[in-house]
Chains A and B, each alone.
Chain A
Amino acid sequence: MDAIIYSLPFLMNGLGITLLVSAIVVALSLVVGVLLGIGLIYGPWPLRWLIRLLSDCIRGIPILVLIFVVYYGLPPLGLNLSSFWAAVLALTVFKSAHVIEYVRGAVTSIPRGQMEAGMAIGLIFPQRLRYVIFPQAMRRFLPPWLNGVTDAVKGSALVSLLGVVDLMQAINQVIGRTYEPLPLYILGALMYFAINYSLSTLSKVLERRYSYIRE
């Protein structure tokens, strides 16, 4: 027990890395995912086709395999990434594919008439997105996306397999010294739980908050 209390600062460092990885992944995948999502809905057909293929393939690969592909597969092809950035890149690619689907789901749930009405009052395409579609799609996008953030936090545990000292790896290292696996894994589980449960609760609250919207 003393050992666990003694190891807490170390675990907190790990937690910091976990949160950092998750934050970078969430931010990058949001940008990439929204851009590609818009491309998937409004782009010319070759682009739509390409994004659909990309998204379906990426979502078909286990995230662990994707991490190994990026970490081990890119250096022979001439791109050297540190384990941290390789993990971030892999998780971002994975997460982006999911964000594309959230965007598609949210935007296509907005009735066509909204877009046509925007056209009728003379808004150009970026304006129609900015003032007509996005404000409405936001309410459909936020709850599943927030839920997806928990997937990013959970997925970030896999970076430990590349030797990045995140919360998962910090726990394993402490266990390597104290030989007390059960209490430490439970402590770690509770830490992950605390983060993710708050996120998924927020997601549920938002969903309920926006549930009055019906076509």
Chain B
Amino acid sequence: MGYQLSFTQIWTNFDKLAEGLLLSLWLAFISILIGAVIGLVLAIWYVSAGRVARTLISAYVEFIRNVPLLLLVYLVFYGLPTAVNISYSAPVSFVVTLSLYAGAYLVEVFRSGLDAVPKGLLDAGKAMGLTPWQRLLYVRLPTMTRITLPALSNTFISLFKDTSIASVIAVPELTYGAQWINNKTFRIVEVYAVTTVLYVVTGYLILFGLRLLERRFRVER
């Protein structure tokens, strides 16, 4: 006798998946916000920094980019509390990890974005008598934001997918919800089918929305 598909158990427990999905989105959103702050500060610092600071920033970026996210999650959740005397919950720990992770990718994004701001714009700012600080705030950053928007949306989608790793430290996001339902009902094919569809559809809906946004703010060249 073959496996009989039955989705009823999935729908009765659908709240686990729905809440999980919302938490996944929330984790990704918080992380990209904090990550963007980290990335922006380090990118601006990098552009004007000396050799030592540049090396340190590069070391941070390269370290995060070349180590599995899973290991970073373990490192922050299980490893760090043994060295520093702070206790934090699993979601907080995951947000910290994912923010640092996002920050490392966004430093590169913002750095190339800052470089891509046309020199003429900055010169124009200078000619108008803007101070360096004003040039950064009113000319360079707004232009850079519009240039980096596509990369930002891609990072957000990829962070949204990476939130599935939070399930290994029992953060109740979407993948954890799927595991929970599976442990309770054993409808394994169904629950992962629904979860997969949720990830793909949500991912593309966000992508579609962000692409509209990008078109609205695209830099004409």
Q: Which residues of A are in contact with B by a Cβ distance under 8 Å?
A: 56-57, 60-66, 68-69, 72-73, 76-78, 150, 153-158, 160-161, 168, 171-172, 175, 180-182, 184-186, 188-189, 192-193, 196-197, 200
Contacts and interface: CB of A to CB of B under 8 A. Distances in A.
B66 A197 contact: yes
Interface string B175-196: 1001100100000110011011
Nearest to A58: B200
Interface of A is mostly: helix
Label chain B's interface by main secondary structure.
Answer: helix
Nearest to B69: A154
A51 B154 CA distance: 21
B70 A61 contact: no
A184 B75 CA distance: 9
Contact of A64 (B67, B71, B167, B203): B167
Contacts of B62: 193, 197, 200
Contacts of B80: 182
A76 B193 CA distance: 13
Interface string B68-101: 1111101100111011000000000000000000
B168 to A, nearest CB: 7
Interface of B: 2-3, 62-63, 65-72, 74-75, 78-80, 82-83, 161-165, 167-168, 175, 178-179, 182, 188-189, 192-193, 195-196, 199-200, 203-204
Given A72-B192, A181-B82, A182-B79, 12 more contacts: A60-B200, A62-B163, A65-B195, A68-B179, A73-B193, A154-B68, A161-B168, A181-B79, A182-B82, A182-B83, A189-B72, A200-B65
A150 B69 CA distance: 12
B66 A200 contact: yes
Given A62-B164, A65-B164, A77-B189, A150 B66 contact: yes
18 contacts: A62-B199, A64-B165, A64-B167, A64-B175, A65-B192, A65-B195, A68-B175, A76-B3, A154-B68, A158-B70, A180-B82, A182-B80, A186-B75, A189-B71, A192-B66, A193-B66, A196-B66, A200-B66
Given A62-B164, A65-B199, A182-B80, A168 B70 contact: yes
B2 A62 contact: no
Given A182-B83, A185-B74, A57 B67 contact: no
Contact of A154 (B67, B189, B200): B67
A154 B196 CA distance: 21
A65 B195 CA distance: 8
A94 to B, nearest CB: 11
A107 to B, nearest CB: 22
Nearest to B207: A60
Nearest to B77: A181
Contacts of B189: 73, 76-77
A124 B209 CA distance: 44
Nearest to B196: A61
Contacts of B63: 189, 193
A72 B182 contact: yes
A160 B192 contact: no
Most B C-beta atoms less than 10 A away, residue of A60, A77, A155: A60
Contacts of A157: 68, 70-71
A91 B168 CA distance: 18
